[in-house]
A and B are shown apart, each in its own frame.
Chain A
């Protein structure tokens, strides 16, 4: 077999080009968000202990200012659902059951000693001076404005949602949130054995992803699916987030701000509606009740 140097090189490059093309012939399916092996029977007292520790890290309550009743979401003027919560501070005795229920419902991991020293707890619902503070689901959310990938995005149901696979971990949203309600996975909690899969419905967040209160979106989705299965229009009824369900004093009221017959609207009538001063001008959907209007 006789072959010139030039044609040999051509054949060589051609073969390698063909082989590399063959290698990428198939479109990969979505990355498997593998259900990671974490303890299925965790010791709940460890989580309770961390909540008690975190109380010391945030000893001061947020200063509150009076706000008007939350209404239509500015980005979705035609929507008839604006989900939100009201936390009755006259009833709340800061027992912390909501914080634990939140962690168990949403598989919120604990943090290691290093992170705890820096105050980087992952708690979606924090007790700041005994006052439960979580993401306020602002209508004019400052976090959504700075997200470069659209991972933090407003939902037409009137809350601020988070798409974990889209998050690339710039932490812009956390820096822009005046309430510091967003929590960043600085470490891999599952690897350190600090995460647990309490709830199979909720994914474990990987390292380098921002997370925050989702208003228990899995419960909202399931309620909507159930209503649709029966052929009904879902307007935010028949469901409670974990914190509201766990509150022994029924101080956390969940509902649809635009449904005048909802629990939320009826129970907040005639009450003083307050919001943390830092986010009061961003039209929050999670507000606090205190005294009479």
Chain B
């Protein structure tokens, strides 16, 4: 057998580069997979929620009674952060960041298409907790965003997820 001119290692390197390229393309084509908090404030859900016992609706207006849940403004943070809080270095760092922050430091683009209405209040009322879709405070801090798929909406509305059955009429949610 004649000796090969190109060693196989070069072929493997080419393959590896192609594979790496595929992964990079995948991550850039679907950027929601690598979610970054657009705010400069180092906010921690776990410390506010589970440690202090604050409800989600305390900072997200409408999360438990309205149609849409909002994001807190800087003034909402200052309600508590004006008070003498504990002297931990984290608190000082946060206060410093708050001083230079914008008026509305937190933004969130809805994951729902604009032609769908999701009344947060009614879902909370029928026993669906925030964690069901958004995950626990720890997961939110780790950058998890809820994956919204109509099949999940429908499975729940058809009564397959342990919650009371709800309407599956198109015009109830789509507008």
Residues of A that sit less than 8 Å from B by CB? 1, 3, 8, 12, 15, 19, 22-23, 26-35, 153, 155-157, 159, 161, 163-165, 201-204, 214, 217-218, 221-222, 224-225, 228-229
Interface residues of B in 119-150 (CB under 8 A from A): 119, 121-122, 125, 147-150
Are B111 and A29 neighbours in the complex by a CB distance under 8 Å? Answer: yes
Could you tell me the dominant secondary structure of chain A's interface residues?
A: loop
Contacts A31-B113, A165-B113 known; list 13 others, CB within 8 Å: A1-B7, A8-B8, A19-B22, A23-B26, A26-B33, A29-B147, A33-B115, A201-B175, A203-B114, A203-B115, A203-B175, A214-B175, A228-B122
In the docked arrangement, what's the CA distance between A3 and B114, Å? 55
Are A225 and B174 neighbours in the complex by a CB distance under 8 Å? Answer: no
Query: Looking at the complex, which of B43-51, B75-83, B85-93, B164-172 is the stretch in contact with chain A?
Result: B164-172
Say yes or no: is B15 at the interface (Cβ < 8 Å to chain A). yes
In the docked arrangement, what's the CA distance between A252 and B49, Å? 50
Say yes or no: is B155 at the interface (Cβ < 8 Å to chain A). no
Report if A30-B175 is in contact (Cβ < 8 Å); known contacts: A23-B26, A153-B170, A156-B169: no
Say yes or no: is B54 at the interface (Cβ < 8 Å to chain A). no
Q: How many A-B residue pairs have CB under 8 A?
A: 93
Shortest CB distance A195–B (Å) = 13
Report if A203-B113 is in contact (Cβ < 8 Å); known contacts: A26-B33, A153-B170, A217-B175: yes
Interface size class, chain B: 35 or more
In the docked arrangement, what's the CA distance between A8 and B111, Å? 45
Are A229 and B65 neighbours in the complex by a CB distance under 8 Å? Answer: yes
Shortest CB distance B152–A (Å) = 10
Are A222 and B67 neighbours in the complex by a CB distance under 8 Å? Answer: yes
Say yes or no: is B97 at the interface (Cβ < 8 Å to chain A). no
Are B113 and A161 neighbours in the complex by a CB distance under 8 Å? Answer: no
Closest to B21 in A: A19
- Contact with A229, one of B9, B122, B173 (Cβ below 8 angstroms): B122
Shortest CB distance A205–B (Å) = 9
Shortest CB distance A16–B (Å) = 8
Shortest CB distance B52–A (Å) = 27
